A and B are shown apart, each in its own frame.
Chain A
Amino acid sequence: MSGSLSSRVSGALLRGNGAVVLLFLYAPIILLLVFSFSASRNPGQWGGFTTEWYARLFDDSRIQRTIGVSVRVALVSTVVATVLGTMSALALERFRFRGRKVFDALLYLPIIIPDVTMAVMMLMFFSQAFDALDALFGLGLAKGFATVVVSHVAFNIAFVSVVVRARVAGMDATLEQAAADLYANRWQAFRYVTLPLIAPGVLGGALLAVTLSLDDVVVTQFVAGPGSTTLPVYVFSLIRKGVTPTINAVSVIMLVASLVLVAGSVALQRASAARGQRQLRTQGGPS
């Protein structure tokens, strides 16, 4: 009776809310994509189709340079953070050692710390450290590419470690013992048993690190020197001045890059999970 009517009304309301949420989430992204191809000089108005703004990007040397810096920072910081983060994950999940709890807590902090605090910390640290090195050894160091990479690694180790730990925790420890029983040495056990099994986690962590590195504005803004400005920091400074059709086009490129990374991470994780299991089944260890 009234129950069925009210449940139909509430069902319609739920569906309506769902539609509004999806519209809210996707409309801005889709409109940005559409306007990046608009010929109008007003970046928020449609004035016919053009690819002019994208063509302009390829002539803009400043944008090219900052893209180059961003890619190099992301690659170097990801490689370092992935190696260090994976080692931390294995140490924390597989071993007991002195200082383990402190280490564990220290690795949680970068995840919960606000961007602004992290930025302030790194700025003060580098200015203090450089003053001290200058006074002691007369080294005239300055902020630049290295300080950006060091800061990105400092937050990325924690994220890689969390992702890899989840994978290590879900892994059967007896497989490593089985490898040892079959006279595999520690390196062989790691190379042929542990690594293939945790590979999806390591890849997932690495892609998260790339994403975070390419996303970061606040920390980089504080620790970059002249010449080491990354794309997001440069674009941020441009947006503050106002919206332009060229920023629409850069934004779409950044958007596509981040979506490719996510899609890649999902695909790679699936593939390597399947391969890891196949290898274990057929090979059963080092041959």
Chain B
Amino acid sequence: MSSVGEAERLAGRAERRRGALLAAPSFVYMILFFAAPLVIVLVYSFATRTSTGSTALADWNLDAYRKLGEPIVRNVVVRSVILAAITTVICLVVAYPFAWFCAMSSPTVRNLLLVAVMIPFWTNFLVRNYAWRLLLSSGGPISSFTEAIGLGETNLLFTKTAVVIGLVYAYLPFMILPLYASIDRLDRRLIEAGRDLYASGPQTFRRIILPLTMPGVIAGSILVFVPSMGAYVTPELLGGGKETLLGSYIVTQFLTARNWPVGASLSFVLMAVMLVSTIVYFRSGGKNL
């Protein structure tokens, strides 16, 4: 009897060793080329910027984090949060009826619509941003169109509006898909029950439909808000770098301003925001979506 137990124990140990061996190459790779870089960013965020613009790994301090409270940085953060919030709200308002329409359509139409949403999402990100730069450029299609119908020339490029349009365009599918998943799972009998009890349309929506599809609303909002906060390519190409947002500000700290500690601390804060949001996402039932 005991020899069987012993054999099982040995077999279990051999299994564990096999698993560890299989994981080892990627594990080592990820520690060396991902975890170590992450630790370096953290270390740098406590380092000192010298007068020449290089970084001294001495006199550890919280200056870089204190600098985040200064007006310049605070304005950048506030502006990024506002633009990301506007983007999220627009996506939500547009995507909710669209997702509802998908869920209520016949299976054929529904699949076509969902594929239609996914295709632009799979195309090259830079090209999608470029397409809007082309559309919004002065003398471009949108400007010619508004001129033709008598509204005069429009100059949207390099404005906040252009950045928001670009962000909505980039992340709208992230909102539609989780909303669709939660609306599709909605028990339609609850809506009928509400109607039987003389609930009006708006009442049914506010009291029954919205609470039941809240996981989709939360998941979609996080999936749009978070990447909008850290966006770099879209604000650079459509905002023209006029409206400095968080992503561009961080890049500037490294490539031109040469203030690595501030850049490092901001990147770290940005990542922390993402991490917390992701945890909220999973807690809100995001795993089921």
Residues of A participating in the B interface, judged by any CB pair closer than 8 Å: 6, 10, 13-15, 17-18, 20-22, 24-29, 31-32, 35, 42-45, 84-85, 87-88, 90-92, 94-100, 103, 106-107, 109-110, 112-117, 119-125, 128, 150-151, 153-154, 157, 161, 211, 214-215, 217-218, 222, 232, 235-236, 239-240, 243, 247-248, 251, 254-255, 257-259, 261-262
B contact residues, range? 35 or more
Interface contact A84-B131, CB-CB below 8 Å: no
Most A CB contacts (10 A, CB to CB) among B20, B131, B227, B264 go to: B131
The complex places the Cα of A139 from the Cα of B31 at a distance, in Å, of 23
A32→B30 contact, CB < 8 A: no
**Is B22 an interface position by the 8 A CB rule?**
yes
**Interface flag for B172 (CB, 8 Å):** yes
Which secondary structure dominates where chain A touches chain B? helix
Residue of A nearest to B19 (CB): A95
Q: In the complex, which residue of chain B has the Cβ closest to the Cβ of A92? A: B23
Other-chain residue from A95, A125, A261 in contact with B40 (beta carbon distance below 8 A): A125
Besides A91-B22, A107-B30, A109-B34, 5 more A-B contacts (Cβ < 8 Å) are: A84-B25, A97-B20, A106-B31, A157-B26, A258-B122
User: Across the interface, which residues of A come within 8 angstroms of B26, CB to CB?
Assistant: 84-85, 87-88, 91, 103, 107, 157, 161
Which of chain A's residues have a CB closer than 8 A to the CB of B122?
A: 211, 258-259, 261-262
**B29 with A17: CB separation less than 8 A:** no
In the complex, the answer to whether B260 meets A153 with C-beta atoms within 8 Å is no
Q: Mark B110-148, 1 if CB is under 8 A from A, else 0.
A: 000100110110111111111111110101110010000
Interface residues of B (CB under 8 A from A): 15-20, 22-23, 25-27, 29-31, 33-38, 40-41, 44, 94-95, 97-98, 100-101, 104, 113, 116-117, 119-120, 122-135, 137, 139-141, 144, 169, 172, 201, 226-227, 229-230, 232-233, 236-237, 246-247, 250-251, 254, 260, 263-264, 267-268, 270-271, 274-275, 278
Residues of chain B lying within 8 A (CB to CB) of residue A214: 124
B237 and A240 within 8 A (CB): yes
